[in-house]
């Protein structure tokens, strides 16, 4: 007979949504279990996603700067060489340290950590298969069950990654040597970040994107400039192009492409497929448990309280509609824990920032200029270049600009789009302003430190406010 245990909340998955939910629920007095089938806690983000990619982005940027920029600062380094093994070892250490932090957080919060593969067993029960042979079974009963299993990479139709010549993001984070020619299918944030890593380390990189622009969800003006900056760094782009076939040998990969009815082929030593992600629901037993999914996407349908069609079963993060972002999952996990304990919780999906950690960085929140126009909203746009700020000049990081979009009648901030140094940090000011329904004038009148990168946002706010004043109330 399988062993049975009872909890107030059972969380399936220990990623940024799951572990935050488990810790918060326990802190609020619930008896909580967190189930994880992988060897490490932390999910995709911590182990093979957000964290290791940022470690390699930072390390590769230092290497690139040492080769191309230090001399201009009067720093003589001699011949620069790459020790990829040491770089990868540092990445693993950062990941392992953070994995230990997650485990420590859950243990301090008195969350029971259960290792194994979870499956909904009907009602409020979860079956957990553990052990090397998967034969050991534990049955848990929960007043509530939270699904937080994240997502997995998708592939191209008819093309199966082999982990050798055709790889996905997790393998691209652990290569033993720098590829001579890396072909990347997908110009979204994952493809662009990994392209940046390997291009900086010396690889020839070709990005194939089926859309007319890279970073498709970003503001068009920002995306166009990002394309220009990355092209200057040596990354080649094939837009309006799709992969039709892939052939591999022991030493290379041949990628057939179709662009405007013109067929061609590209040869390289690796093809990285970075065309998106899908909900990780395999083996969860959704159908048997009565959990409905969204047609065509496979995402789990939830109500405003994150409850699925099966009473008492909740879902968050990449499993449900919305952008596949770690910080979105964390916010939802915290919200579920608070709702289950009777506290008010609400998420403003209009103020969730998105970031691409290329150089320059790209960060965005709220409406793009095109989206505002499609809604027939009267808008003002304030744009200010980083080249106009003293701090950017000091560091010789002058590419990019800050762009604010406001309502032309009220000056309320509708969106912010930043491409430039430290954009990932600067965007928080705009997010906060939008959370408080603030106006561009609020940012413009706030005293910013000098010299700082954030002054570009302040100057963009000044220009947006001047536009609103010039147009006057009621003018479209």
Query: Of the candidates 5, 18, 7, 64, which has an alpha carbon nearest to the alpha carbon of residue 314?
Result: 18
pLDDT at res. 131: 56
**Looking up tokens 């470690």, which residue turns up?**
55
pLDDT tens digits for 8-31?
999 999 999 999 999 999 999 999
Distance of alpha carbon 280 from alpha carbon 286, whole angstroms: 11
Distance separating the N- and C-terminal Cα atoms of the chain: 72
Distance of alpha carbon 369 from alpha carbon 318, whole angstroms: 26
Query: Of the candidates 249, 87, 252, which has an alpha carbon nearest to the alpha carbon of residue 176?
Result: 87
pLDDT at res. 1: 44
Which structure tokens are listed for 435? 């959370």
What integer best gives the mean pLDDT of the chain? Answer: 96
pLDDT at res. 468: 87
* 407 noted as active-site residue: no
Backbone angles phi, psi at 411, to 5 degrees: 70, 5
Give the torsion through C-alpha atoms of 106, 108, 113, 119, to 10 deg. -50
Distance of alpha carbon 402 from alpha carbon 458, whole angstroms: 9
Q: Are 106 and 22 in contact, with CB atoms under 8 Å apart? A: yes
Give the torsion through C-alpha atoms of 173, 179, 181, 184, to 10 deg. -10
Residue 212 DSSP class? S
Query: Of the candidates 352, 15, 330, which has an alpha carbon nearest to the alpha carbon of residue 151?
Result: 15
Distance of alpha carbon 182 from alpha carbon 200, whole angstroms: 12
Considering the candidates 73, 407, 417, 450, report the single residue annotated as catalytic: 450
Where does residue 375 rank: exposed (0-12), middle (13-18), buried (19+ CB within 10 A)? exposed
Taking the chain (476 residues) in runs of 10, the rounded mean pLDDT of each run is 80 98 98 97 97 98 96 93 98 98 98 97 92 73 98 96 97 98 98 98 98 96 98 97 96 96 95 97 96 95 97 98 97 98 96 98 98 96 98 97 97 98 98 98 98 98 92 57
Which residues fall within 8 angstroms of residue 201, CB to CB, at 6 or more apart?
60, 63, 64, 82, 84, 178
Distance of alpha carbon 192 from alpha carbon 195, whole angstroms: 5
Q: Containing H/E element for 442?
A: helix 440-445
CB atoms within 10 A of CB 460: 28
Angle between helices 455-471 and 423-435 (to 10 degrees): 40
Which structure tokens are listed for 177? 């040597």
Q: With the C-alpha atoms ordered 72, 78, 84, 90, is the resulting torsion angle positive or negative?
A: negative
Which structure tokens are listed for 70? 């230090």
Distance of alpha carbon 46 from alpha carbon 150, whole angstroms: 12
Distances (CA, A) of 65 to 83, 125, 181: 16, 54, 21
């Amino acid at each position: 007979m399988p062993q049975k245990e009872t909890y107030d909340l059972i969380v399936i998955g220990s990623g940024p949504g799951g572990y935050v939910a488990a810790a918060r629920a326990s802190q609020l007095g619930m008896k909580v279990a967190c189930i994880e089938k992988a060897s490490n806690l932390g999910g995709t983000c911590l182990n093979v996603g957000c964290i290791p990619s940022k470690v390699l982005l930072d390390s590769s940027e230092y290497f690139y700067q040492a080769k191309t920029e230090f001399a201009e600062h009067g720093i003589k380094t001699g011949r620069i060489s790459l020790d990829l093994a040491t770089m990868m070892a540092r990445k693993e250490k950062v990941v392992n340290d953070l994995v230990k932090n997650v485990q420590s957080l859950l243990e301090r919060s008195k969350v029971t950590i259960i290792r194994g593969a979870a499956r909904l067993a009907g009602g409020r029960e979860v079956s957990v298969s553990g052990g090397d042979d998967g034969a050991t079974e534990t049955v848990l009963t929960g007043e509530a069950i939270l699904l937080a299993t994240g997502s997995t990479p998708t592939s191209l139709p008819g093309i199966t990654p082999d982990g050798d010549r055709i790889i996905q993001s997790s393998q691209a984070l652990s290569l033993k040597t720098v590829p001579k020619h890396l072909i990347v299918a997908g110009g979204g944030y994952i493809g662009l970040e990994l392209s940046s890593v390997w291009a900086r380390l010396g690889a020839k990189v070709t990005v194939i994107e089926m859309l007319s622009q890279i970073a498709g969800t970003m503001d068009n003006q920002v995306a166009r400039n990002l394309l220009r900056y990355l092209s200057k760094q040596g990354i080649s782009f094939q837009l309006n192009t799709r992969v039709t076939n892939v052939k591999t040998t022991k030493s290379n990969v041949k990628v057939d492409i179709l662009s405007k009815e013109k067929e061609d082929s590209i040869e390289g030593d690796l093809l990285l497929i970075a065309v998106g992600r899908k909900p990780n629901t395999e083996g969860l037993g959704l159908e048997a448990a009565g959990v409905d999914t969204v047609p065509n996407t496979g995402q789990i349908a939830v109500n405003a309280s994150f409850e699925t069609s099966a009473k008492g079963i909740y879902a968050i993060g990449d499993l449900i509609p919305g952008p596949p972002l770690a910080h979105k999952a964390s916010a939802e996990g915290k919200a579920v824990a608070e709702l289950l304990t009777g506290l008010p919780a609400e998420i403003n999906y209009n103020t969730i920032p998105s970031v691409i950690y290329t150089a320059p960085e790209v960060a965005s929140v709220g409406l793009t200029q095109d989206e505002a126009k499609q809604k027939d909203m009267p808008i003002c746009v304030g744009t200010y270049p980083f080249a106009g700020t003293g701090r950017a000049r000091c560091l010789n990081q002058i590419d990019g600009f800050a762009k604010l979009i406001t309502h032309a009648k009220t000056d309320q901030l509708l969106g912010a789009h930043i491409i430039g140094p430290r954009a990932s940090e600067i965007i928080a000011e705009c997010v906060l302003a939008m959370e408080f329904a603030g106006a561009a004038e609020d940012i413009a009148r706030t005293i910013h430190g000098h010299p700082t990168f954030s002054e570009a946002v302040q100057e963009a706010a000044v220009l947006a406010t001047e536009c609103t004043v010039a147009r006057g109330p009621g003018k479209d």
